[in-house]
A and B are shown apart, each in its own frame.
Chain A
Amino acid sequence: MAITDDVLVIGGGLAGATAALAAAERGVQVRLLTYKQSTLRHASGLIDVLGYAPSGKGPLADPFDTLETLPEGHPYERVGSDAVREALLFFDAIVGDAYAGEHTDANALVPTSSGAIKPTARYPAGVAPGLASDPRETLLVGFETLPEFDAPLAAAHLEETGAPFEARGVTLSFPGIRRDDAKVTRYAHLLDRDETVDVGRGETSARAALAAIVRDQLEGESRVGFPPILGDDNHATVRRDLEERLGVDVFEVPSGPPSLPGMRLEDRLYDALDDTGVRVTTGVPVVDYEGADNGRSGASSTKRIEHVLVDRKGRDVPYRADEYVLATGGLVGKGVRSERERVFEPIFDCHVEASPDRYDWFDGDAFGDHPFARFGVTVDRELRPLDTEGDLEFANLRAAGAVLSGYDFAAEKSGSGVSLATGFVAGDRAGSEVRG
């Protein structure tokens, strides 16, 4: 017996989780199956819709103006800007007050750990007091043991960038952390549980100790920015507690991987999956499929996926569904793989648009326009993968997220937005298809 559900979503990143939630909204039985952990855990937790046009123009004040003008084949062009709006509304409902930014179409400007300013559509509530459009003076606090965030340098960069406020940075020693390579989860755990720490003058609680050393540094600033380590499960409480102790607003400055804001978003999404009754299977990959012709001939002779095969430690187990969503990520998530001679999609062998000459994959300039960034499967407007001829690969497969071709998320700052919009559309269509 195959393990059977109505919709099977393959891949558990932002695209897959959104697809599974959207399909479940249609009242069908959904399973999300994912192999390893997704890029959500590296990502900043910001939901970037479009920061820069594909031409490089930007930062964009309003992503929706540009959305209408994207070239054919771009994932946003495929689903249309209404779907992007709908997907954002869907996201807002899932994350509730953990995120902000829903009151406007315009991009918010968020300072990042390098002191750059990033245009983004949605941001964690804990990031909100730090927005660059807010003119209040700012103190940035870094820690000796977290060198990735150099607070004085970031403050200097912010001022150079022309942020409309004064920023100052200090580097302190985090109470209770001795190792110079302590994990971000260790910092968060200390604050989450408000563990007792030894600060030389006896023992005190981690939050009180942190507030005490930061208070000494305040010179009238009304907000303080920290690297994103202010708790995990109890993040909101930790932040509020620090605000009360310091008497100023406290925010986090989004950083590179590994990133707690990304992990917190992952937790939210997986809690929502659990609440919605989506079945979640992790730790094992889909490796193959078995298909069948639908018996018809001509243009509608498209194959259907009967079931996929999941490798459970050396033994293939069949999983069956009516509709499938492929959300396995790009080259990082391993949804698209490359060998010396080819780039391919490993489960269904969907057609991947790529030059046969690997020397064409990279631009000569390291920061140039790399074709490989856009490798992925090509889809129709229903997000169904197309073969070399432009015909459907399968009647019951849709694709979402970084596995799609036609966009460069890093250059456009569109990673999460594309995953959200295409995940929403793919899941919603798959779910309604089952219902008939």
Chain B
Amino acid sequence: MSDATRPTDDHVPGDDEFDPIEVFPEADEMDLRPGADNCYKCSTCDTNCPVAEVDDEFPGPKFQGPEQWRLKRQSDHDVDDSIMKCSNCMRCDHACPSEVPLSQMHNSARGEYVDERMSKRSLEYWRNRLLSNYRLMAHLGSKVPRLTNFVMGLTLTSVFNEKVLGITSEREFPEFATETFREWWRARGGSDASRERAQAAREERGESGAEKRVAYFHGCYSNYNTPEVGKALVRVYEHFGYEVVVPEQRCSGTPMFANGMLDDARRAADTNVSELAAAIEDGADVIASCTSCSMSLRQEYPELFDIDGVDDVSSNTWEGLEYLRVHEDLEGELEGTRADVPNLAYHVPCHARNQGLDGQAIEVLTTIDGVEAQDVGESCSGISGTYGWKEEHYETSMQIGEEMFEHMERADGDTGLTECPTCAMQMEHGTGYEIKHPLEVLEAALVPNSPGTERAATDGGIDETVGPNREGQDEPFGAN
């Protein structure tokens, strides 16, 4: 079933009182023992933790994971409140030579802490809930984007946020797009239109094979804030002859895991897994443009939730460039194309590193003539989703980010590049740079006349020409 035939109205958390409440299995019923017993106390995880490096009060991942787990097993030990200082960057997972599932331990400990120790009447709880349910805010905000952007920009609002809610006034709220990705998608004709374009592209490419189909998991950010990323994905995939479908979806859960809101995450996961599993059943592979979304679907879902189809979704989910690189001759296709974006300062999101995607963007994009990108090093950006928005973590977040800011400033040029929308926020906040997504650069090279590339005011125009930006066609990137 394509999404053109189903109601495309978004569900938002809070709309679904009638959902049967899933009983989330108690965190400590999860059998983490083999993982904990694997720990041989080498402290490699501790030396990778960006929070422990700058914050004296944080005892580090070895304590949060295996040690706390052992304490709990031996006696009736409460989860230590320092778990809320972990930013869920997952660098400890990436480090551990002994495959201890540290982030899974942190996620379940955080869930238990919030369930049992955090007052449901505290402002902290509601602030965290508000932050982790960004989609709800964004959904309402995007109904009246200009008003919301205006209100969010008011000094009064930021004073209220900081003093009452504990949301730092140092950061500016991301602007809402005047047209969400889904609105654009619907206006453009949904997947019926996409099927036609894909077919035309396949004919032009001389491909006679079976239909190619992907289901796009756009996540909240590229829907509400940076629809240009979603549009780039759609145009690039259609260029390769893929029909894009956009299933119903909710938040991937990343901010909810980080805030210990496992019930909220579970509810969102129920929708996502059933919708995406259905798309997979229809022959699509799942593509995400945000590396934390793909991380969540691939690793955290099967680690935390026992939902029908969860393993199917996990093993058929890909990041946007990754899929093309494995299924198409992406580098061959880019050979001889051009996009004028020299001097990109690229930051690898921590969650991308965990998926083996660390070198990918630079490897792929630098095959395009006119694209130069410099890796600004492996340090963490420090924002970790909602973490850096909290008043009490803002300083830590900026201290962690310092190394990245310095490296960005040392690199030539003043455009940043990253896959993660919150890393992008931090990069922009720390340096004032404009930040691009790798898919936007791909779009500029492969679909040079698209409205995205030309930044035409008439987004949604159907007359997009197909055909890569071959050498000689001078098409400046991002010009309007």
Contact = CB atoms under 8 A, between A and B. Distances in A.
A37 B353 CA distance: 12
Interface string B333-354: 0000000000000000000011
Contacts of A38: 97
Interface in A154-179: 177-179
Nearest to A259: B47
Contact of B44 (A41, A177, A334): A41
Contact of A181 (B54, B59, B298): B59
A86 interface: no
Contact of A312 (B94, B98, B355): B355
Contacts of B161: none
A227 B287 CA distance: 48
Task: Report the contact-size class of chain B (Cβ under 8 Å from the partner).
Answer: 35 or more
B56 A283 contact: no
Interface string A232-276: 010000000000000000000000011000010000001000100
Contacts of A303: none
A332 B359 contact: no
B279 interface: no
B97 A258 contact: no
A343 to B, nearest CB: 18
A157 to B, nearest CB: 24
Nearest to B406: A233
Interface string A181-222: 111111001000100000000000000000000000000000
A36 B356 contact: no
B316 interface: yes
Contacts of A368: none
Contact of B326 (A3, A178, A270): A3
A186 B53 contact: yes
A281 B359 contact: yes
Interface string B456-467: 000000000000
B121 interface: no
B314 interface: yes
Nearest to A32: B359
A284 interface: yes
Contacts of B94: 36-37, 282-283
A339 to B, nearest CB: 14
Contact of A282 (B322, B330, B353): B353
Given A258-B42, A315-B316, A317-B326, A36 B95 contact: yes
B314 A314 contact: yes
A2 to B, nearest CB: 8
Given A181-B59, A314-B311, A36 B53 contact: no
Contact of A281 (B314, B356, B402): B356
Interface in B188-232: none
A280 interface: yes
Interface string A277-299: 00111111000000000000000
B42 A280 contact: no
B346 to A, nearest CB: 12
B3 interface: no
Interface of A: 1-3, 33, 36-39, 41-42, 177-179, 181-186, 189, 193, 233, 257-258, 263, 270, 274, 279-284, 310, 312-315, 317-318, 332-334
Given A185-B47, A189-B53, 11 more contacts: A36-B96, A36-B98, A178-B56, A233-B403, A257-B43, A258-B47, A279-B359, A283-B355, A283-B358, A313-B314, A333-B97
Q: Rank and list the top 4 A-B pairs by shortest CB-CB distance, nearest first.
A: A284-B356, A313-B298, A314-B315, A258-B43
